[in-house]
Structure 1
Amino acid sequence: MQEQRRTMLKAMGAGAMMFAMGGLSAEAQDGSKDGATVFELRIYHTVEGRLPALLARFRDHTVSLFTKHGIVSVAYWTPTDDPLKDKTLIYVLKHPSREEATKNWKAFQDDPDWIKVKTDSEASGKIVEKVDSTFMTMTDFSPKV
């Protein structure tokens, strides 16, 4: 798993991550006024051939449902190099706190609209094989791009 994460970060590129984080406000970069803001790095490993279905689900439904539930999208990537190319979605979310993240994820997962979207999008088979999630906080030396 550690090797997969290293490969993913290499494929994504540090520049892309810094660019995405640099697009945040100074308050968000500093971790908010109370220091509670967290970022969540999520990596979705799809079933072979199912990345287009996952991307369509995110594009057409998931991102707006995230917004509905207070989950802030920072950026989304797909790797350009093997072995992750054509089967991986990488993205970063912003949450006011770990507690809010837990609450918002629960509301999202229990949302009847999400349940319908997930069920409908998986009518022809499972899409996601595995999800990795890592919560992160900004360091005091993160660049302010």
Structure 2
Amino acid sequence: MIYELRLYAVAPGRMADVHARFNEHFPALFAKHGVDCVARWNAVAGPDAPRFVYLMAYRDYAQREAVWASFYADAEWWRIRAETNAGHEMVERHDLFFLKPNAAWPAPLARDAGTAIGGLHELVQQQIAPGQNAHANAFLQETWLPRVRKAGARVLAVWDTAAGAGMQKIVLLYAWPDAAAWHAGRRSMDGDETLQAAFAAQRRQYGTALFERSEVNLLDPAPGMIIRAGLGRVAD
């Protein structure tokens, strides 16, 4: 399974128009062509905020190519695009990433996959020290994610970057109950002695911390969008 993550820098004053396009026009058009949009958000903080962010799931790259070839060949899309743009492009710039599930993200059971997840979501593009993927993954599973959960977040997804800007990345998606919980959780992690000791040990052993710089976007679920815990994945 692969995912496609898109982050759109929206023209000033056009965010409501983007949401209207997705709520009023895209449900039928996506269903017609097999586009599975599993999440949509407003990025309320982060680079280029406010941004519109959405996530799609596919069986594989072949399915992705097929559904978008069908979509772009549909005259209805071009009519909707012209009508909703209203003479001015809504999206000024976009970043696109292809993601594949990391081993640290087990597929949820069917009984849990449909759970609606609200609150404040946090999307983290975490740069990994060059050549240290195996060690970084071990640190992620054994230390980092348990401390994130202890700080109060639900881990919604963990991906490896398959294509896009910055291949040496793990992409993480967390859900916090609200902004206050995010602030408290981040303060907790900044002062977490277990994490501080782990990073100090990494610097001694590898000459660098395994987790380097990161890009963080804080996300509100988009109007009209119910985000499910499974994000299109269900355990066999």
TM-score (norm 1): 0.72
Q: Greater CA radius of gyration, 1 or 2?
A: 2
- CA drift of 1:82 comes to 6.0
Q: 1:144 to 1:49 in 2, by over 3 A?
A: closer
More divergent stretch after superposition (133-142 vs 113-122): 113-122
Q: Which has the higher strand share?
A: 2
Larger relative contact order (Cα-Cα within 8 Å, sequence gap ≥ 6): 1
Q: Which residue of 2 aligns with 1:6?
A: 95
In the alignment, is the contact (CA less than 8 A) between 1:79 and 1:88 conserved in 2? yes
Q: Which residue of 1 aligns with 2:192?
A: 111
Report the secondary structure of 1:45's partner residue. strand
Which of residues 111, 117, 142 is equivalent to 1:60?
A: 142
Q: Which residue of 2 aligns with 1:44?
A: 126
**1:25 counterpart = 2:115:** yes
**Unaligned segments of structure 1, at least 5 residues:** 14-18, 32-36
Distance in 1 (CA, whole Å) between partners of 2:164 and 2:223 is: 33
**Unaligned segments of structure 2, at least 5 residues:** 1-46, 49-93, 101-106, 229-236
**1:135 counterpart = 2:222:** no
Q: Counterparts of 1:58-137 in structure 2 under 5 Å? A: 58-81=140-163, 84-85=166-167, 87-123=168-204, 124-126=206-208, 127-137=210-220
- Identical-pair percentage: 11
Q: How many residues align?
A: 126
Q: 1:71 to 1:139 in 2, by over 3 A?
A: same
In the alignment, is the contact (CA less than 8 A) between 1:41 and 1:91 conserved in 2? yes
- CA drift of 1:135 comes to 0.4
Report the secondary structure of 1:137's partner residue. strand
Distance in 2 (CA, whole Å) between partners of 1:71 and 1:143 is: 18
- CA drift of 1:60 comes to 1.1
- CA drift of 1:80 comes to 1.9
TM-score (norm 2): 0.47
Distance in 2 (CA, whole Å) between partners of 1:143 and 1:101 is: 20
- CA drift of 1:128 comes to 3.1
- CA drift of 1:129 comes to 3.2
Name the Cα RMSD after superposition. 2.7
Q: Which has the higher helix share?
A: 1
